[in-house]
Amino acid sequence: AQSVTQPDIHITVSEGASLELRCNYSYGATPYLFWYVQSPGQGLQLLLKYFSGDTLVQGIKGFEAEFKRSQSSFNLRKPSVHWSDAAEYFCAVGHTGGFKTIFGAGTRLFVKA
Amino acid sequence: KAGVTQTPRYLIKTRGQQVTLSCSPISGHRSVSWYQQTPGQGLQFLFEYFSETQRNKGNFPGRFSGRQFSNSRSEMNVSTLELGDSALYLCASSRSGGSNTGELFFGEGSRLTVL
């Protein structure tokens, strides 16, 4: 069965510091991988996605993620965090068809001045 | 292009009552998925509809049901409400079918409080 693990429940980084959020997945075929962000009281917004091809994908708001098949990982990175990046981040695995996309438990990011 | 619209945004019910939540997907999107979000359980998949057919279902009791109409709008219903049903219910639409990408577009959710 497919599953997603986000080992860090919450992370605190200083504004301007770099960020890496971890994600590991379990999937029987080539996965479609996603990172979503959720601000308080809001729905989820797609940051980036990986389907195939280049394993380093660029997303919105300066985020990027790298797919590593050998490690079953899809970690999210940002070189310099802004206070507005404080939110909850969800890694997800799905497949074509859009049905039953599975989400990780989420990582809440706190940004300190 | 209008986004995914969920109504109502907030509602309060008492145990034993039932509730119906509505979701209007993005125009042209034929797939609608529903998720329950709680602090303890995170995002849990409820079900997904495509062309009025339920294609997949999560591990929820039969009190949770849904349907999709010919215009792709969807409703979910929870009967005999329990305190543990208090949650944010999120709807997401997708360009499913054919060369679908699997990307989900979420509404802002319906926050249900059961007293």
pLDDT of A60-109, one tens digit each?
Answer: 999 999 999 999 999 999 999 999 999 999 999 886 554 678 899 999 99
Tell me, what's the pLDDT at A27? 80
Q: Grade residue B100 by pLDDT with cuts at 50, 70 and 90.
A: very low
Whole-number average pLDDT of chain B: 91
Question: What pLDDT does A8 receive?
Answer: 95
DSSP state of A75: E
Quick one: average pLDDT of B84-95?
94
- The pLDDT, as a whole number, for residue B98 is 44
Beta strands in chain A (DSSP E): 3-5, 10-14, 19-21, 24-26, 32-38, 44-50, 56-58, 64-68, 73-78, 87-94, 102-103, 107-112
Query: Which tokens go with A106?
Result: 């989420």
Distance from C-alpha of B57 to C-alpha of B82, rounded to nearest angstrom: 20
B99 pLDDT tier (thresholds 50, 70, 90): very low
- Cβ contacts below 8 Å, chain A against chain B, sum to 82
Nearest CA-CA partner of B94 in A46, A63, A35, A74: A46
Mean pLDDT computed over A3-20: 96
Q: So what's the pLDDT on residue A57?
A: 95
Residue from the list B90, B96, B107 with its beta carbon closest to the beta carbon of A98: B96
Q: Please give the pLDDT value at position A40.
A: 85
- Whether residues A51 and B101 touch (CB distance < 8 A) is answered with yes
- pLDDT number for residue B101: 60
Asked whether the beta carbons of residue B102 and residue A100 sit closer than 8 angstroms, the reply is: no
* Segment holding B54, helix H or strand E: strand B53-57
* A100/B56 CB distance under 8 A: yes
